[in-house]
Chain A
Amino acid sequence: MSGSDGDGAVASADGATAATDETRAATDGRGPVGSGNSFFGDVWVNFKRWNLKAVRNPFVLVVSLVQPIIFLVLFTEVFGTVAGGAVNQGIPGISYETYLVPAIAVQVALAAAITSGVGLVNDIENGMFEKVLVTPMNRTAVFVGKTAAEVFRIAVQIAIIIGLGVALGAEVVSGVVGVVGIVAVGVLFSLWFVAFSNALALLTRDQESTIIGANLLQFPLLFLSSAFLPLGALPGWIQTFARFNPVTYGVDAARSLMVDRDVMTVIDVSWFGGTLDGVAPGVAVLAGLDLLLGGVAVYLLSRASSSDVK
C-alpha cells in the first residue's frame, strides 16, 4: 500500500469535488456520472460481469436452450403431418417447421428471460446488490448493463434456434434481413418478461418462487396463442384469450417476417401494404407492454435500493 498511493488519493479527491454538483441529480440514478467511469463505462462493467456469470453457468445456458429445441423437434416430428393441414388453411403453402420456428424463438425468449429475475435474487442474497449500491456507479447504468447482457444472450439463442429450424427444413422467406428482424422481435418480446421476472424477484425475494412463478405462466401463454396452431383451428375461448396474449403479438410479428407476408391474426392494419402490416402492430403492442412492465420493475427496484425509511 505505498508507492503511487498519493497520486491515486489526490485524483479521487478531485473527482469527488467535481462530482458534488452532479450528485443531487444523481441521487435518483439518472444524473451524470462522477466516478471514474462514464455512464456507458458503468454499463460496460456490469455487462461484462453478467456475461461472465452466464458463461460460468453453462448448465443454465444449455438447459434454457434445450427445452425449446425439444419442442421444435418433437412438435415438428409428432404433429407435423397432422398440423400441416390446419396450418395450410391459415397460411397456404408453408411447412409446419416454417410455421413453428417463430413460436420457438418466442419460447426461447420466455425461458431465458426468467433467469434475469433469478440473477437479481441471487445478487440480493449474496450481498452483491447492496455492494453495488455503495459504489459510485450510476444505478440506472448498473441495471441497463445487466439487462443488456441478458438481451445479448437471448439474441444469440434465438439465432441458434433459427439456424436449427432451417436445418430441419424451415424456410426464412425474407432471408438474412428477416433473421435479424426475427431476433429483434424476440428481444423486444423478451423485455416485458425480463421486467416481469425482475418484479417477481423483488416481490418474492426468493429464487424458487421466482422460477416457479415465471414458469407457471410460460406454458399457458404459449399454448393459448397462435404459437402452435392457427387461431382458426382453436376453440373460441382460446381465440379470445389469444387476443390479449403478448405471445400472439410476438409470434405473429416474427412469423410475418419468416414468411414475408402479413400473417398477424389479431390486429388487422393496412398501413404499409405488405409484410410490415403484420410486424408493426405486434411491435407496437410489445413496445407498450415493455414500457409498462419496465416501469413497474424500475419502481420496485428504486424502492428496494432506497430501503423503507420514513
Chain B
Amino acid sequence: MSSQDPGVGVEPSRDEGSAASDGPANAAIDVDGLELVYSDGTAAVQGVDMTVPEGEFFGFLGPNGAGKTTTIKVFATLLSPTAGEVSVNGFDVRSEPRAIRETIGYMAQETSIDPELTAEENVRFACEAYGVPSAERDERVTELLDLVDLADVADKRSEEFSGGMKKRLDAATALVHRPPLVFLDEPTTGLDPKARNRLWEYFRRINDLGTTIFLTTQYLEEADQLCDRLAVILDGEIVADGSPADLKREVGGEVLDVELEADGDASSRAATIAREFEAFADASVTETDEGISVTAETAREHGTDLLVALRDADLTVTGFNIRAPTLDDVFLAITGEELDADESSEADAEGSR
C-alpha cells in the first residue's frame, strides 16, 4: 500500500537504459491494444490498454472467464499475443521473453510446487533455476522460508502441507531472484481467512520494499485492502479503472439493503416498487438473495419512506441497513452481475492449463 514510498528498502532492478519500450520510463507494464485469440477461436482478450507504474500494487478484477489469467500469461511470456504491443520491465514480450523471465516473479493460479521435494528443496531448485549465485543460495533460502513462516517445516516434504502452506511456499519460490515485478494470479483462492491474512501481510511487505505487484483476485475485499489501483475486465475488455475509493465514488450515493420475508415473488415486487419510488430519482435496484438492494443519492434521507411503502404493499421487512458502497456494489454496477466464483462462461480456455 505504500507504493508512494519506494525509497524504504530496495531499489528494484530495472533496465533503465533499455530502448525497447515506447512507454513511460518508469512503467513496469505497458500494454497497447493487446488481443489474444486461442486457436479454437475464443477471443479471450480484445483490445486491452493499460500501464502499471513501478512500485504500484495493481489489482485486476473480473468474473471467471473474463480474460484475467490469459492477460497475466501474456505478461509472463507463457502466451504470445495475437496482436498489440506489450512491454514488461521495458522488454518486449515477443522478442525478449528471456529478459522478462529473469525480471519477473510469477505465481500461477494453481499452486505450483514439487510435492516430492521438501520446502527447502523447492526453494533451492528455484534459486538454481533463476541462477542465484551459489554463494548466496543458503542465505536466500533461509530468508525466504522465514518470510513465509515455513522455517520449521523446511525439511518436510511439501506434499504433507496444508493448502495455505503450499501457497506460501509457492510464493517464496516466485521471489528467489528478487524480481522487481511479481504476478499473483488469485493467490488466496481457497484459503481460510487466517492463511489469507498472512499472505496479505506478506504481499504488503514486499510491496513496501518497492516491488511492483500485479494481482488478480476473486475477492473484492482483498482488492480493496491491498491495491493502490484497480482495473476491471469484462469479456476481454477493460471496463473501469481507478483507485478503490474513486471507483466507489463513481457508484454514487449510498446503499440501502432490505431483507424481506421469503414469499414467492416478494423480491421482484419490492424491486418494482423501489424502481417506481419517486424520492429515488436515479436509483439502481437489484434483487439479492435476501430481498433487494437500492443504490441512490438520497438513500439515507428517504430510506424509511421506502420501507413504509413496502409495508403498505403487504411485504414483510425483516431487516434493513444503510451503508457506503463497497467494491461489490462497484462490481455490480459495472458488470451487472455479482462476482461469483461459480459463474460459468464459454471461455473455458481461461483455465490455467
Chain A residues proximal to chain B, CB less than 8 Å = 1-2, 4-6, 8-13, 15-17, 19-20, 22-24, 26-27, 34-37, 41-42, 45, 48-49, 52-53, 56-57, 124, 126-128, 130-137, 306-310
Partner of B125, one of A49, A130, A133: A49
B residues in contact with A307, CB < 8 Å = 73, 78-79
B129 close to A137 (CB less than 8 A): yes
A residues in contact with B308, CB < 8 Å = none
- Given A134-B76, A134-B101, A309-B82, A12–B13 Cβ distance below 8 Å? yes
B11 close to A9 (CB less than 8 A): yes
A239 → chain B closest CB, angstroms: 44
- Given A9-B10, A56-B116, A4–B136 Cβ distance below 8 Å? yes
A308 close to B116 (CB less than 8 A): no
Closest 4 CB pairs of A and B: A36-B131, A127-B112, A9-B13, A308-B39
- Given A19-B98, A35-B102, A133–B13 Cβ distance below 8 Å? no
A residues in contact with B73, CB < 8 Å = 307
Q: Is the interface of A mostly helix, strand, loop or mixed?
A: helix
A45 close to B129 (CB less than 8 A): yes
Chain B residues proximal to chain A, CB less than 8 Å = 9-15, 17-18, 20, 36-40, 73, 76-80, 82, 89, 91, 95-99, 101-104, 106, 108, 110-117, 121, 125-126, 128-133, 136, 143, 147, 157, 173, 177-178, 180, 205-206, 209, 352-353
A1 → chain B closest CB, angstroms: 5
Q: Is the interface of B mostly helix, strand, loop or mixed?
A: loop
Give the docked Cα–Cα distance between A16 and B177 (Å).
12
A309 close to B39 (CB less than 8 A): yes
Give the docked Cα–Cα distance between A131 and B91 (Å).
20
B38 close to A309 (CB less than 8 A): yes
B178 close to A23 (CB less than 8 A): no
The residue in B20, B98, B205 that gathers the most chain A C-beta atoms within 10 A of its C-beta is B98
B225 → chain A closest CB, angstroms: 21
B residues in contact with A19, CB < 8 Å = 96, 98-99, 102
A37 close to B131 (CB less than 8 A): yes
A20 close to B91 (CB less than 8 A): yes
B112 close to A131 (CB less than 8 A): yes
A126 close to B115 (CB less than 8 A): yes
Give the docked Cα–Cα distance between A198 and B316 (Å).
65
A310 close to B82 (CB less than 8 A): yes
A residues in contact with B125, CB < 8 Å = 45, 49
Give the docked Cα–Cα distance between A6 and B9 (Å).
9
B13 close to A13 (CB less than 8 A): yes
Partner of B38, one of A4, A134, A137, A310: A310
Give 10 A-B pairs besides A23-B97, A26-B97 with Cβ atoms closer than 8 angstroms.
A1-B143, A9-B10, A16-B89, A19-B96, A20-B20, A20-B96, A23-B99, A127-B111, A134-B101, A136-B131
Give the docked Cα–Cα distance between A131 and B115 (Å).
13
B102 close to A17 (CB less than 8 A): no
- Given A5-B178, A306-B80, A136–B102 Cβ distance below 8 Å? yes
B140 → chain A closest CB, angstroms: 9
B residues in contact with A310, CB < 8 Å = 37-39, 82
Closest to B83 in A: A310
Give the docked Cα–Cα distance between A305 and B267 (Å).
50
A residues in contact with B99, CB < 8 Å = 16-17, 19-20, 23, 34
A53 close to B117 (CB less than 8 A): yes
B182 → chain A closest CB, angstroms: 12
B residues in contact with A16, CB < 8 Å = 13, 15, 89, 91, 99, 102-103
B178 close to A15 (CB less than 8 A): no
Give the docked Cα–Cα distance between A6 and B180 (Å).
11
Q: What are 15 inter-chain pairs, A to B, with CB distance below 8 A? A: A1-B206, A2-B209, A8-B178, A17-B17, A20-B96, A23-B97, A34-B102, A45-B128, A45-B129, A49-B114, A52-B117, A56-B157, A130-B78, A131-B106, A132-B129
A residues in contact with B36, CB < 8 Å = 309
